[in-house]
Amino acid sequence: MLDDLRNMLGAGAVDDSPEGLASHTHDWYPGALLRDRMGTPVPGPSVVVRPRDTGEVAAVLEWAQVTSTPVVPFGGGSSVVRGIEPDGAVVIDLERLNSISEVDEKSGLVTAGAGVTGPALRDHLAESGYLLGHEPQSVDISTVGGWVATRACGQLSAKYGGIEDLVRGLEAVLPGGRIVRTKTAPRRSTGPDLAGLLIGSEGALGVVTEVTLRVFPLPTERADLCLRFEHMTEGVQGCRVLARSDLGPTMVRLYDAEDAALFLRHHPDEPMGPLLLCSFDGDDSDLRRERAAELIDGTSGNDDLVAHWWEHRNDAVEEFRKVMAGEGLLGPHGIVDTIEVAGTWTVLRDLYHSVKEGLSEAAGLVGCHVSHVYPDGACLYFTMGSMCKSDAEAEEVDRKWWEITMRRTLDAGGTISHHHGVGRVRAGWIEEELGEWFEVLRLIKKAIDPK
């Protein structure tokens, strides 16, 4: 196998070093990090290859089909749902697919290789005065290809949408090595949305190699608004009227009392209770902020907290890493996990209470925030933490959190994943989520990937 791959890609592109394998063994799934902490890491890949271009990706996939070798595409490895666990497979690390085109300023588009990282793209765009608008918490450790493959959605989705709204053109290699390209177009009615099959396919239907994305001018001004509520229900109502208005917020987040306490842990003088943060940018930001303050029935809060959020919005990644390394506030056997689900405004209240109640019985602390809003519903993002007596207990606790959240979400009419994807951790519930579509997906998978 190694000889095959070396002949195909050159020796420098084939890595079976202990370090190479170790760094591609798993993603940021807490269960996998726990296994590391326990000294019993999950089994890694057999080899890591780093193709230089789409043609080489195609060659690897053709070879994989002929030899019936399982392969796993790898971007930043920042999934948190057991999306990467190669277990003997060949990992295709896409880091060398790192070219970025000049910004097409006329159409507001940029084309980037799947391996381009968040920071590389951000810096490149900023040079021309643009931003992507896709800002997941993992933006510093994830890649363009990963965003598309997992159907990611950033924290500024209220303005910029999810990755599916940003992708305007796409190149991918399907199993067996077939290269497909979706022409860049603002819209089309030329049959079903085929590129949409790859957005969220998590590697099952092909490897995304290049993407053309919308970009937006860097905003020059920003107006922040912070509101407080006595009860979460009033805050949710506030999110709803804002999402249904024409005011165009860039970011909307509502923390429940427990999540607000977490967010405000370095602000001991702030009052407790549900907290709404939102920002407006672009034309007439101040006016729109004003209108939102009038529209939403809440108490004025400290607007500086919104700037604090902007500054520290991705700190959770490092804090998560610390806890899972046994170095955080939850002690040597601490466990922390996050699970995001979504629902229409109609089911959201029951969904929130049901999941929160269930998790509260199974975790030391549970916070929840509304992290993404839409005219018809929202994402509920739960964060759970527990101090455990052993790592084995931590494993069991995490397993329970997933069981509770998935079961109660399905029962309440919610959808089991908003933007983290399915991975192996949600695999047990996906058939119930998709219903008869699950079997259709199986048929499509078989048609595209007969082996």
Q: Pick from 378, 380, 393, 408 the residue near its own copies by CB under 8 A.
A: 378
Quick one: which of 167, 199, 359, 370 contacts its own copies (CB under 8 A)? 199
Residue 433: half-sphere exposure toward Cβ, Cα within 13 Å: 20
- Positive or negative, the CA dihedral 54, 58, 60, 61 is positive
- Cβ proximity to its own copies: between 13 and 341 the closer is 341
194 near its own copies, rule: CB under 8 A = yes
Candidates 18, 106, 266, 311; binder of its own copies (CB under 8 A) is 106
What letter does residue 104 receive in the DSSP assignment?
B
CA dihedral 324, 326, 330, 335 (to 10 degrees): 40
| Binding status of residue 233 toward its own copies by CB under 8 A | no
Residues 290-309 that bind its own copies (CB under 8 A): 291
Instruction: Scan residues 206-225 and list those touching its own copies (CB under 8 A).
Output: 214, 216-217
- Residue 205 amino acid letter: L
Number of residues lying near its own copies (CB under 8 A): 90
436 near its own copies (CB under 8 A): yes
**Across-strand partners of 167?**
213
- Write the binding mask 385 to 424 for its own copies: x where contact by CB under 8 A, - elsewhere: ----------------------------xxxxxxxxxx--
CB of 255 to its own copies, least distance (A): 19
Q: Is 183 in the site for its own copies (CB under 8 A)?
A: yes
Q: Is 368 in the site for its own copies (CB under 8 A)?
A: no
Side-chain-facing half-sphere of 273: CA atoms under 13 Å: 14
Question: Amino acid identity, residue 14?
Answer: V
The full DSSP string for 253-271 is: EEE-HHHHHHHTTT-TTS-
Burial class (CB in 10 A: 0-12, 13-18, 19+), 431: middle
d(CA 351, CA 389): 31
282 binds its own copies (CB under 8 A): yes
Q: How far is the CB of 115 from its own copies (least distance, A)?
A: 21
Contact status: 447 vs its own copies (CB under 8 A): yes
Do 247 and 295 meet the contact criterion of CB atoms below 8 Å apart? Answer: yes
Smallest distance from the beta carbon of 131 to its own copies, in angstroms? 13
With H, G, I as helix, E, B as strand and everything else as coil, classify residue 136. coil
Closest distance between its own copies and the C-beta of residue 445, in Å? 9
CB of 238 to its own copies, least distance (A): 14
Give the one residue of 50, 151, 228, 333 binding its own copies; rule: CB under 8 A. Answer: 151
Tokens of 359: 């998790």
